[in-house]
C-alpha cells in the first residue's frame, strides 16, 4: 500500500446489505449506533450513498433484511472494530469502504448473475468517484521535481495525507 498509493478502495463480502466506512465503532467502547465520524465523514457518507443508491438490492423499498438489524442507507451501524477501512484511513491515503453485497456469504453459482446485476452500476459509479476532490503533483518550485511524502493539509479537516512517488508510465521507473 505504500509502494502503490491507492486513494479509493472497496472491499466486498457478504453478510448483510450495507455499506460501511471508517470508524464503524467507538474507539473507547462498543456501543451500538454510536456515531464516531472521521474528519472526512462527509466524503465517506457520499461514497456509501453513491454505492448504495445505485445498488438494485440495497436501494429498493422492498429491500430484504438479512438478520435482525435494520440497516439504513444513511446511517452507520457498529459492525466491527479496527477493520481494513480504519487501517487504510489511518495509515495510508486510501479512502476505503466495505460493501456487504448479500445476506448470503456463499451464494450459489446460479445466483451470481443477479448479484452482478445488483452491483454492476454501483461498482462503476464508485470507481468514478476517484476523480472527485483535489489531485495533482506537488513540485519543488526550483527543480520542478515531484516531492514525495509532502504533507497536504486541508483547512477544516483534521486528516493530512502525503504525496506519493511519481512513476514514469512510459519507462516504468520511479523517481522523486
Active site residues: 100
Give dist(CA 107, CA 89) in Å, integer: 30
Strands 174-175 and 166-167: antiparallel
Helices 41-54 and 112-128, packing angle to 10 deg: 140
Amino acid at each position: 500500500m505504500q509502494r502503490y498509493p491507492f486513494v479509493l478502495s472497496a472491499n466486498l463480502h457478504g453478510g448483510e446489505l450495507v455499506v460501511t466506512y471508517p470508524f464503524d465503532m467507538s474507539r473507547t467502547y462498543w456501543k451500538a449506533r454510536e456515531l464516531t465520524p472521521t474528519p472526512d465523514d462527509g466524503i465517506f457518507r457520499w461514497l456509501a450513498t453513491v454505492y448504495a443508491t445505485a445498488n438494485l438490492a440495497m436501494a429498493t423499498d422492498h429491500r430484504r433484511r438479512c438478520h435482525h438489524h435494520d440497516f439504513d442507507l444513511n446511517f452507520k451501524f457498529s459492525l466491527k472494530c479496527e477493520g481494513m477501512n480504519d487501517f487504510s484511513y489511518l495509515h495510508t491515503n486510501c479512502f476505503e469502504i466495505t460493501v456487504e453485497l448479500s445476506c448470503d456469504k456463499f451464494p450459489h453459482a446460479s445466483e451470481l448473475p443477479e448479484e452482478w446485476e445488483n452491483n454492476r452500476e454501483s461498482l462503476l459509479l464508485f470507481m468514478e468517484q476517484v476523480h472527485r476532490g483535489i489531485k495533482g503533483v506537488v513540485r519543488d518550485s526550483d527543480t520542478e521535481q515531484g516531492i514525495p511524502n509532502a504533507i497536504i493539509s486541508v483547512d477544516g479537516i483534521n486528516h493530512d495525507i502525503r504525496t506519493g512517488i511519481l512513476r514514469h508510465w512510459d519507462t516504468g521507473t520511479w523517481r522523486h
